[in-house]
Structures are given as structure tokens and as C-alpha cells.
A and B are shown apart, each in its own frame.
Chain A
Amino acid sequence: AQSVTQLGSHVSVSEGALVLLRCNYSSSVPPYLFWYVQYPNQGLQLLLKYTSAATLVKGINDFEAEFKKSETSFHLTKPSAHMSDAAEYFCAVQNTGFQKLVFGTGTRLLVSP
């Protein structure tokens, strides 16, 4: 069964610092991978997705993620954090042929001035 592990339920960074949110997946076949962001009291918004084209995926708001099959990882990065990036971030996996998303437990990003 496919699963997603997000290391760190909370990550704290200073404004302007590098953001790194970790995601490892378990899947028997090459999956589709997604990062979603959830701002307080809102729904989820797609940041970026990997669908077997380029391994380095660029998303909105300067976020990017790199698919590493050998490490079964899809970590999310951003070069410089903004206060507005403070939110909950979810990594999700979807196997080909199935449409449900299997989510990780989420990582709350805290950004301090």
C-alpha cells in the first residue's frame, strides 16, 4: 500500500531563510506526487506536482521539489521564506490508475521575523 511520511510536524525558519520540508513516499510503482498548502481555515491549494516529466518541479510562489527515485523522496524547498508562507504543507502520493490522494501527516511551517 502506498504511504507518505513527512518528517517533522513543525518546521521553524526565519524570514529570508531556506525552507526545506521533507517527504518520503512508499509505492510499488512510480507514483504521481503532489505538494499542497493549507492556510488557516481554508481548503488545500496545489503548490506543485510530479508526473514523471522533469524530476525538478517548479511550483507557485518560488517553491520547488525534486523527485529522487533512489531515495523515494520528494522534498519541498524555497530559497527565501516569507511571512506569508506560514501554513500547513501536505505531501501526497497517487498511484497511476488510481485517483485517490494519500496524504502525509502534514508539516506546519512557522516563519519568524
Chain B
Amino acid sequence: DTAVSQTPKYLVTQMGNDKSIKCEQNLGHDTMYWYKQDSKKFLKIMFSYNNKELIINETVPNRFSPKSPDKAHLNLHINSLELGDSAVYFCASSQASSGDEQFFGPGTRLTVL
């Protein structure tokens, strides 16, 4: 049983296209996150949702729009893709309390050509 799953695992697309990445967790957690890992392996928070409500929105271009249809799902839609969006995007989930472990998905490697 996969705790946090993401689809697709790989995504190759052209500049200017719009794409979505889906994330699902079956851990019953209240909070879900999107992190971006760049080519130098640096990881940075993008968004966080708690019970379908946005609670963290870092300085991310508004071409990125997260959507949480229910607390088990958090999707990431990216408009007008740019070369600099190429990265690995990780979804994670945790209980609502600070100090709780965040469980990470396997990542989606996005390549923008």
C-alpha cells in the first residue's frame, strides 16, 4: 500500500504548455504539501493545505495553482510552463501538529523543453 502517491512520475512537455500533477495520501492526514527540488537537490516548500484550506503559500509564481478537492488529495496545476519550472516536485502529508513526520511521495520529475 503506497502511503503518498503521485502521478505522473515523469512529465516531459514543451514551454508554454499547461500541466497537472496529482497527489493522493491514504494515511488519513489532515495536512498536505508541495515541495520543489531543483537541479542542485535544494528542497523548498511551495504550498500547504490543511483540511482543504490553503495555509502556506510561499513566493511561488501565480502560474502555479494548487487544488485540494478533499483532504486526501492535493493537485498542482502549472500554467504556461517555463524552462525554470524543470524540477522534481514532491507531495507530502502529515498530521496537523508541528513536529509530526511528513511522509513524502516518490516525486514527479518535470522536464520543460
Which residues of A are in contact with B by a Cβ distance under 8 Å?
Answer: 32, 34, 36, 38, 41-46, 49, 51, 88, 90, 94-103, 105-106
A103, B44: Cβ atoms closer than 8 Å: yes
How near does chain B come to A28, taking the closest CB pair, in angstroms?
Answer: 15
Question: How long is the Cα–Cα vector from A101 to B43 in the complex, in angstroms?
Answer: 9
Contacts of A97 in B (CB 8 A): 98
State which of A42, A49, A99 has its C-beta within 8 Å of the C-beta of B107.
A42
B96, A42: Cβ atoms closer than 8 Å: no
How near does chain B come to A74, taking the closest CB pair, in angstroms?
Answer: 14
Contacts of B41 in A (CB 8 A): 38, 88, 105-106
How near does chain A come to B64, taking the closest CB pair, in angstroms?
Answer: 16
A43, B4: Cβ atoms closer than 8 Å: yes
Given A43-B90, A43-B107, residue A51 in contact with residue B99 (CB < 8 A) = yes
Which residues of B are in contact with A by a Cβ distance under 8 Å?
Answer: 4, 31, 33, 35, 40-45, 48, 50, 55-56, 58, 90, 92, 94, 96, 98-99, 101-107
Contacts of A100 in B (CB 8 A): 33, 45, 48, 56, 58
A43, B94: Cβ atoms closer than 8 Å: no
Q: Which of B50, B96, B98, B103 has the largest number of chain A CB atoms within 10 A?
A: B98
Contacts of A103 in B (CB 8 A): 42-44
Q: Which residue of B lies closest to A98 (CB)?
A: B98
| 9 pairs from A and B in contact (CB 8 Å cutoff) | A36-B104, A46-B102, A51-B99, A94-B99, A96-B99, A98-B98, A99-B56, A103-B42, A105-B40
Contacts of B101 in A (CB 8 A): 34, 46, 49
How near does chain A come to B100, taking the closest CB pair, in angstroms?
Answer: 8
How near does chain A come to B50, taking the closest CB pair, in angstroms?
Answer: 8
